Amino acid sequence: MNTYEERRKKRPTFSHLAEFYSMRAAFAGLQKLPWDTACSIGERLGALGRWPLQIRRHVVERQIAAAFPELAEDTVRAISLGCYRHLGRNAVEAAILPTLGQNGVLSLVDRVDGWEHVEAAMNGGIGGIMVGGHHGNWELMGAYLAARGLRPEVVVRGMGNRLFEDYLNTNREKLGLTVVHDTQAVRSTVKAIRDGKFVAILADQGVLGLASSFVPFFGRPAKTARGFAVFALRLNAAVCFMDMLRLPDGRFRVVFEPVKVEESGDRDRDVDAMVARYSEILEKWVREYPSQYFWQHRRWRRQPAETPPELRDPTLKDPTAWTPSR
């Protein structure tokens, strides 16, 4: 039995119960409000994470400063505040999305760039892979794909509070998504693609035990999930980068780009090249919309042993005392 299954069998703790039911009560109240009002409240709640709560504020601001060394300190702080507001709004949008229905989801989209790449993948005779990052509104991205008729399988990681995890996964399924835990992804992804389905994956978090490549992200080596590239090359499946970018008026711009690589005959090198290309595309969109990235995650926590001090995790107080993580 894997660790995920063992954790699922444990009874929720009191703190998990309190956290879940308080959030459920809050979401129930927000669902009764107009969409824009509820989302505005989410932004204000998110801002509290930066101040006064200061949840990972040093992580957020050090990473933004490292990614954009040319920016002044006050600009870094402004992006940081926008990041917290964005995350709060994302949380509320994810919670109340099922109240919109598919037509409501489609009405939130102002502009779509690159849909022809998705259509090309659909015409390939087998399924395809949609790969994104924790940028824009990734939950709404999945709902949008389902509303457009793709009904993808989405690969997710387990959460600390399984009650909230179940609540979120139920919402995803209401929107037309099939949820697959990452411990089951290998078998499920291969079958889905061979059956002509799309699989959606967020690949910008490299965790222990997950097959990954170290590729540049803002010039620093970052551990990045490589499974999507392995599946693509093994099954000859098309890969599209996806992102759902919030515009100033609250509506969204959806972008798709092909993630291509020329096969050299060296499978490991080709996988790494595809992962690097994905990271390059993600970085491009993060540069354009920096406050919409999930900077609360320590993106450079795990790096190769040979990483020079100036390129190590910028959240460390003393990079010279750094110990590489696997």
- pLDDT tens digits along 244-277: 999 999 999 999 999 988 789 899 999 999 999 9
The residue among 324 and 52 whose pLDDT is bigger is 52
Residue 113 within a domain: yes
DSSP 8-state secondary structure symbol assigned to residue 218: T
The dihedral built from the CA positions of residue 221, 80, 100 and 107, taken in this order, carries a sign that is: negative
Residue 160 within a domain: yes
Q: What's the pTM value of the predicted model, to 2 decimals? A: 0.93
CB 259 within 8 A of CB 47: no
Does residue 127 register a pLDDT over 80? yes
Residue 115 within a domain: yes
Residue 36 within a domain: yes
Residue 80 within a domain: yes
Query: How far is C-alpha 286 from the chain's CA centre?
Result: 12
Residue 54 within a domain: yes
The residue among 276 and 21 whose pLDDT is bigger is 276
Does residue 207 register a pLDDT over 90? no
Neighbours of 251 (CB within 10 A): 13
pLDDT attached to residue 208: 64
User: Looking at residues 193-218, what average pLDDT do you find?
Assistant: 88
pLDDT attached to residue 322: 53
Share of the chain above pLDDT 90, in %: 66
256 to 179, 241, 243: CA distances (angstroms)? 22, 5, 7
- pLDDT tens digits along 224-245: 999 999 999 999 999 999 999 9
**At 98, is the pLDDT very low, low, confident or very high (cuts 50, 70, 90)?**
confident
Does residue 87 register a pLDDT over 70? yes
Residue 9 within a domain: no
Query: Mean pLDDT across the chain, nearest whole number?
Result: 90
**At 299, is the pLDDT very low, low, confident or very high (cuts 50, 70, 90)?**
very high
Residue 8 within a domain: no
- pLDDT tens digits along 104-123: 999 999 999 999 999 988 87
The residue among 123 and 94 whose pLDDT is bigger is 94
Q: Rounded CA gap, 264 and 287, in Å?
A: 31
User: Looking at residues 281-308, what average pLDDT do you find?
Assistant: 97
Share of the chain above pLDDT 70, in %: 93
Q: Which domain holds residue 157?
A: 14-321
The structure tokens listed for 215 are 């590729």
pLDDT attached to residue 1: 45
The structure tokens listed for 244 are 């759902």
Does residue 319 register a pLDDT over 70? no
Does residue 2 register a pLDDT over 80? no
pLDDT attached to residue 120: 87
pLDDT attached to residue 174: 87
CB 190 within 8 A of CB 199: no
pLDDT attached to residue 320: 62
Number of domains in the chain: 1
